[in-house]
Structure 1
Amino acid sequence: MTTGYSPPATESDIEWCYDAVHGVSRTFSITIDRLEEPMARHICLGYLLCRIADTIEDAGHIPPAEQTTLLEEFDRVLDPDADTTAEDFREAVEPWIPEERSSDWDVVAHTPRVVRSFESLEDEPREIMREPVRELVDGMAMFTSRYADQGGLRLQTLEELEEYCWYAAGTVGTLITGLVARGTSPERAEVLRDNARSFALLLQLVNIAKDVETDYHEENNVYLPAEWLAEEDVAVERVTDEAHHGGVTNVIRRVTGRAEGYLDGAQRYLEVLPERHGNTLSAWAIPYLLAVGTLRELRERPEDVIREGNVKISRAEVFAVMQQFEQDLSRSALEELRSEMSEKPLHQ
């Protein structure tokens, strides 16, 4: 239940939410800093609602059955026809909040504040956001329930991987598209909807390819398809073993290739993205180009995903990408930047 039963949000609530995003996501922090109002507020709050669910789904210390219960409780908080309040959810999740909170868990602990701020939005953007967020929450509950016996996610096929990516990221793409497409032509809105999935799955698959070691050891989740691991004679529970680095590296290459298949659609999404309601091209083009650079690194050194625990582009390249947007950058320049970053770091 998200309407009518909580005190109104204050300006300090909104300021806290902006600060919270900076603590939990470098990428979305860049995005929100590049947006103007009211889009910045809408994306900030939508992202935090999704992050609450994501933190529960990623929590290796919570038994899967309890994860599912908590996610279902959170969905009822977002259901305007249910009686569950954000305070009810906060009470239910309290036993699972670590004593030493990470930034993610601090957001979970402040769920009533985030929901209160969400409630304060005007009707149109709030209702555009509600269903995609609820779809994400429901999808995560479905996956934690599906793999309850394994104690963590163990995705089996490419189809299941992309199903998971839809719930984790495609729903966010739907949320973004719903907000930015308001008032645009039907033709432009259709192109946005047709390519939103590509934009979202590109970013999610890049994260999955580069975070294999972290996902397994910190969250007890394996997103690399078990069928692909089996082709390399790698048991899912041995995904980070040194003896299997070669096989796992081959699977990471395949996930990287799958992500690259979404580059064209993601670029098309950006080429027609409206700059209205406080939306800006740079807010979404920067994460896209950072993904292009990360894909280059994954192609060149996929073994470092397991050996070093992650693959990232340098801070210098991140800065160079951001500098491209200090002046008005034409949409046509995205193709050139993508081509350049696919071959070498932008700052070199």
Structure 2
Amino acid sequence: MPPLPPPSPLSDPELSIHLERTSRTFALAIPLLQEPLQREVGLAYLLLRVADTLEDAAPWTREGRRAALEEFERLLQKEAGLEASERVRHWLERRPSENAHYLRLLEQTPQLLANLEALRPEATAIVRRFVLLTVQGMRRVLAGATEQGQLQLGSIQELRDYCYIVAGLVGELLTELFLLDARLALFASELRALAPLFGEALQLVNILKDATEDREEGRTWLPGTVRLEEVHALARRDLVDAARYVRTLHAAGASHGVLAFTAMPLLLAHATLRLLVRQGPGAKVSRAEVTAQMTALQEALQRGTLPEEIIQLAQSPREE
């Protein structure tokens, strides 16, 4: 039987639909970017969402999840003889999730890999490198899970190590894509130093917000031996560094889209953390506040500045 023709990349509208159905904050933030960054960042998110679905596959054992991640890693590396559609069919037969949108995205993995090859060559290399690092890190984390795949982090350092794998690397991925704009080159070292802390800040707030839901699904990211106040304090420190990251992008002359894309999730994370400290896990920023934050952000950027909240946060002392 002759080999099947390679899958065609998904169109931009198709990618947008998958983003809207599988993400929250990113679905709002990615359209703020200009092309080709919008397409590149959106595809990176969707590939990472595939990895998350395999890592979080509650019906699967630890080794089943690790094996699927290894298969995805090999697909990303374009190993000869590995048929993407066959691997995906095998994953779907075992139904890793009850979320229909995640399953539909998983089904599109061969097309997403075709999209990856269709990016600017330098962007393809960046996205592949950091998605691979994330997948490899997820496999290492799962090695410490129970046979049934239940995870429990035991210390602040383990929490930070996990945040680096699933979010710090994303901060680095984004930064390398931003730095394809030669205008930012003078600020490259500062941006690279702050990038993983930008990612860690957003991930810590998400972990605090989703703690109850994660626990019900067998994931305990918040170490039981660590007081919640310590995690709140770490998140506050990281948010200061995240604000400094956005401030550095502004000083470097980053585009309006890049500033909006990075500032919006920062503002929402800062507002969410304030709510979590008062109300505990599950607290969410209202839609009205999200709208108000986005309006204030756009108005500030139109004036050539950043929202006062980010300026003040970036100037805050980083308490140890």
TM-score norm. by structure 1 comes to: 0.81
Instruction: Describe the SS at the equivalent of 1:272.
Output: helix
Q: Structure 1, residues 75-94: CA drift from partner, whole Å, max 9, x if none?
A: 00111455424223312312
* Structure 2 residue aligned with 1:319: 291
* Structure 1 residue aligned with 2:198: 199
In the superposition, relative to structure 1, how do residues 279 and 178 fare at CA in structure 2: closer, same or farther (>3 Å)? Answer: farther
Say yes or no: does 1:281 pair with 2:259.
Answer: yes
For 2:124 and 2:169, locate their aligned partners in 1 and report how far apart those are by CA, in whole Å.
15
For 1:331 and 1:82, locate their aligned partners in 2 and report how far apart those are by CA, in whole Å.
50
Contact 1:70–1:92 (8 Å) recurs in 2: no
For 1:65 and 1:99, locate their aligned partners in 2 and report how far apart those are by CA, in whole Å.
16
In the superposition, relative to structure 1, how do residues 99 and 288 fare at CA in structure 2: closer, same or farther (>3 Å)? Answer: closer
How much has 1:117 moved relative to structure 2? Answer: 1.4
* Structure 2 residue aligned with 1:131: 129
Contact 1:94–1:109 (8 Å) recurs in 2: yes
For 1:314 and 1:10, locate their aligned partners in 2 and report how far apart those are by CA, in whole Å.
33
In the superposition, relative to structure 1, how do residues 99 and 68 fare at CA in structure 2: closer, same or farther (>3 Å)? Answer: closer
For 2:149 and 2:32, locate their aligned partners in 1 and report how far apart those are by CA, in whole Å.
39
Q: Structure 1, residues 104-132: CA drift from partner, whole Å, max 9, x if none?
A: 22211211121121121121110011111
How much has 1:74 moved relative to structure 2? Answer: 0.2
Q: Structure 1, residues 158-178: CA drift from partner, whole Å, max 9, x if none?
A: 111111101110111111001
Q: Structure 1, residues 185-213: CA drift from partner, whole Å, max 9, x if none?
A: 54301111010011100000001111111
Contact 1:37–1:278 (8 Å) recurs in 2: no
Contact 1:144–1:153 (8 Å) recurs in 2: yes
Instruction: Describe the SS at the equivalent of 2:225.
Output: helix
Q: Structure 1, residues 9-34: CA drift from partner, whole Å, max 9, x if none?
A: 253xx321111011111200111121
In the superposition, relative to structure 1, how do residues 126 and 168 fare at CA in structure 2: closer, same or farther (>3 Å)? Answer: same
Q: Structure 1, residues 302-342: CA drift from partner, whole Å, max 9, x if none?
A: 2xx2xxxx1101111001011113335267543435759xx
Say yes or no: does 1:260 pair with 2:259.
Answer: no
State percent identity of aligned pairs: 33
How much has 1:102 moved relative to structure 2? Answer: 2.5
For 2:8 and 2:103, locate their aligned partners in 1 and report how far apart those are by CA, in whole Å.
23
Contact 2:92–2:103 (8 Å) recurs in 1: no
* Structure 1 residue aligned with 2:307: 334
Q: How many residues align?
A: 305
Please list every run of 5 or more consecutive structure 2 residues that lacks an aligned counterpart in the other structure: 314-320
* Structure 2 residue aligned with 1:48: 46
Contact 1:180–1:279 (8 Å) recurs in 2: no
